[in-house]
Amino acid sequence: MNLLLTISFSSVASGIHNWLVSTIPNELLAKSVEMVIAGICLLLFLVPLCFILGYMERKVAGFMQMRYGPNRVGPYGSLQIVADTVKLVMKEGLTPTGSDKFLFNLAPVIMVVTCMLVLAPIAFAKDFQIWDINIGVLYVSAISSLAVIGILMAGWSSYNKYSLLGAMRSGAQIVSYELSVGLSLISIVILTGSLKMSDIVMSQETGWWIIRGHIPVIISFVIFVIASTAEINRAPFDLAEAEQELTAGFHTEYAGMKFAMFLLAEYINLFIVSAIAATLFLGGWMPFHIGHWQEFNHIMDFVPSSLWFLGKTFFIIFIIMQFRWTFPRLRVDQLLTLEWKYLLPISMVNTILVTVMAIMGWHF
Amino acid sequence: MGSSALILLLIVGIAFSVGGILISKWFAKSSASKVKGEPYECGIPTTGTSWIQFNVGYYLFALIFLIFDVELVFMYPWAVAVKKIGMVGLVEIVIFMFILFMGLLYAWKKGALKWM
């Protein structure tokens, strides 16, 4: 029992690292073997994650609409998404005759690569990060904005009017909402004084920012969730792929595995956005502590840090999935009005409020 | 893991997506026909080119976005340092934001934020 409590992801990772360094004399070879192991672990984490999110999306939809959701394949329909994947693999990946073939095939790769790259600074558990880069927050907002290139590329190269319109809408939408996302990220950076993800998590040792930061931080949390829902093109901001108007938007012409790549990228982006929100506002892997209640805090410390992180992340994912069945889709003019006339001025004023709070030390 | 993590993630991303697409190519049956490669549109033959002109509004929003995105990049180093600088930092950012906000109001008044 004692042994089990001391095992954590970071100790396993450093154990493997030390073992590899001691058994393999060649430094470069040891490093590349470690990279291969890390890559396989990453895929073993991401692919089941996408399966779980796909299953969860349907079950949440069923729950919201008072029906069962998938319940035929496997126990409680849990293998439905595996069956769907098999179907997508067996399907022909069609390339339209008029399309720009190189860009058409490049776009899904770009989508997957950009969302993989954003995973680097996310703190999954205590001392367990792929790369604890010192400009973490800036890195996330820089790389995640590259996704729009993949979308525009997919829409333009498919040689389809629906795809082109969908890509243009999604481009305008993503660049607009990036501003609000950036400003709400900045409000936490002001309070922490660091862009590093591990510093941001450590600064919440005495309490999560959403509790300690009074109303301004709650406002920036709400703005972050709204704007990032728009940025990953999910309903009610899914204008880029509005089924009723544009069939499927920028991925109308994609089929089979290439379409699956877009779906995979969407789910990984959903996870990333929720993970960032959990790290910045809800304390990442930090357990829930209440002031001086030593006994309570001690009990909370027994829950592994990775479970805290995943719990908070899945809570935000659940909120974002609920949006889809709660709000009707916006029109394109309403969408841009919401960002430029409401969210952007509010978040600018909010940033100044947070600054005043940080300088005066009014937060707990 | 250090900066080699970026190379790892890049390789994993490319290998996974290209590998997946190639595997499905090996599994999937494919047949070619003239109609199959046409653009997907409700069933009627497409008129004209599909690379059509689009609304100039998207371009306007991209221009305004550019101004504010540069502002955001300026604000990152400021945000890291503002707790140490104190009041001076606050006054400076209020002036900076006021000027930008005037820019937004100007664009608003000129009707750049209106969707046509």
Q: pLDDT tens digit string along A145-155?
A: 888 888 888 88
Residue A302 pLDDT more than 50?
Answer: yes
Tokens of A151: 């979308």
In this complex, the residue of A113, A183, A253 whose CB is nearest that of residue B40 is: A253
**Residues A151-161: what's their mean pLDDT?**
86
User: Is residue B5 situated within a structural domain?
Assistant: no
Higher-confidence residue of A212 and A276: namely A276
> Quick check: is B81 in a domain?
yes
> Structure pTM?
0.90
Q: Measured between beta carbons, which residues in chain A are less than 8 angstroms from residue B15?
A: 39
Residue A291 reports pLDDT greater than 80 = no
More confident residue, B113 or B84: B84
The span from the CA of B4 to the CA of A120, in Å, is 11
Q: What is the pLDDT of residue A314?
A: 92
> What's B60's domain CATH number?
1.20.58.1610
Tell me the nearest-neighbour CA distance from A286 into chain B, angstroms: 22
Residues 6+ apart with CB under 8 A from A204: A212, A283, A284, A286
Residue A323 near residue A236 (C-beta atoms within 8 A): yes
Strand partners, A123: A129
| Subunit contact A159:B39, Cβ cutoff 8 A | yes
**What is the H or E stretch that residue A268 is in?**
helix A256-281
Q: Is A362 an 8 Å CB contact of chain B?
A: no
The Cα B66–Cα B58 span in angstroms is 12
Query: B68 lies in a domain?
Result: yes
Contact at CB, B50 and A344, closer than 8 angstroms? no
What whole-number percentage of chain A has pLDDT above 70?
A: 96
In a domain, B105, yes or no: yes
> Has residue B100 been placed in a domain?
yes
Q: Determine the residue of chain A that is closest to B85 in CA distance.
A: A359
Domain that residue B114 falls in: 53-116
Q: Which residues of B touch A42 (CB under 8 A)?
A: 8-9, 12
Distance from CA of B85 to the nearest CA of A (A): 9
Partner-chain residue, chosen from A93, A116, A182, that has the shortest CB–CB distance to B21: A93
Residues 6+ apart with CB under 8 A from A190: A351, A354, A355, A358, B79, B82, B83
**Number of inter-chain CB pairs under 8 A, A vs B:** 214
Rounded to a whole number of angstroms, the distance from the CA of A29 to the nearest CA of chain B is 14
Please check the confidence at residue A3 and state whether its pLDDT lies above 70.
no
A328 DSSP assignment? P
pLDDT tier at B95, thresholds 50, 70, 90: very high
A251 contacts chain B (CB < 8 A) = no
pLDDT at B74 over 80: yes
Domain tally, chain B: 1
Question: Which chain B positions have a beta carbon within 8 Å of A89's beta carbon?
Answer: 20, 23-24, 27-28
Give the pLDDT confidence score for residue A313 in this predicted structure: 92
Q: Which residues, in sequence order, are CB contacts of A134 under 8 Å at separation 6+?
A: A195, A196
The answer to the question of residue B23 being in a domain is no
Name which of A61-70, A178-187, A342-351, B46-55 the model is least confident about.
B46-55
> Nearest residue on chain B to A175, judged by CA atoms?
B65
A33 in contact with B at a CB cutoff of 8 Å?
Answer: no
DSSP string spanning A69-86?
A: -S-SSSGGGTTHHHHHHH
Q: What is the pLDDT of residue A1?
A: 43
**Distance (Å) from the alpha carbon of B26 to chain A's nearest alpha carbon:** 9
Report the pLDDT value the prediction gives residue A316, as an integer from 0 to 100.
92
Decide if B1 is inside a domain.
Answer: no
CA nearest to A86 within chain B: B24
Report the DSSP beta bridge partners of residue A125.
A128
Tokens coding A226? 């709204």
What pLDDT does residue A222 have? 92
Q: Whole-angstrom Cα distance, residue B51 to residue A159?
A: 6
Which residues on B lie below 8 Å from A50 (Cβ)? none
Q: What is the pLDDT of residue A315?
A: 92
- Whether A164 and B24 lie within 8 Å, measured CB to CB: no
- Residues of chain B with Cβ-Cβ distance to A156 below 8 Å are 51
What length is written for chain A? 364
Which of B9, B55, B97 lies nearest to residue A352, judging by beta carbons? B97
Tens digits of per-residue pLDDT, A105-150? 888 999 899 988 888 888 888 877 888 888 888 898 888 888 888 8
Q: Which two tokens stand for residue A195?
A: 């862009």
Mean of all residue pLDDT scores within chain A: 84
CB contact at 8 A, A234 and A322: no
A-chain residue closest to B22, CA distance: A257
| Cβ–Cβ gap A258/B21 under 8 Å | yes
Q: Does residue B22 belong to any structural domain of this protein?
A: no
Task: List pLDDT tens digits, range A304-354.
Answer: 888 888 899 999 999 998 888 888 888 888 888 888 889 888 998 999 998
Token code pair at residue B96: 């900076």
DSSP symbol at B47: P
Q: What is the pLDDT of residues A65-103, one digit of tens each?
A: 888 888 888 888 888 888 888 888 888 878 888 788 888
* A164 in contact with B, Cβ within 8 Å: yes
Q: What is the pLDDT of residue A156?
A: 87
Q: What's the pLDDT at A255?
A: 82
What is the mean predicted confidence (pLDDT) over A32-45?
84
Q: Which residues contact B16 (CB under 8 A, 6 or more apart)?
A: A43, A112, A116
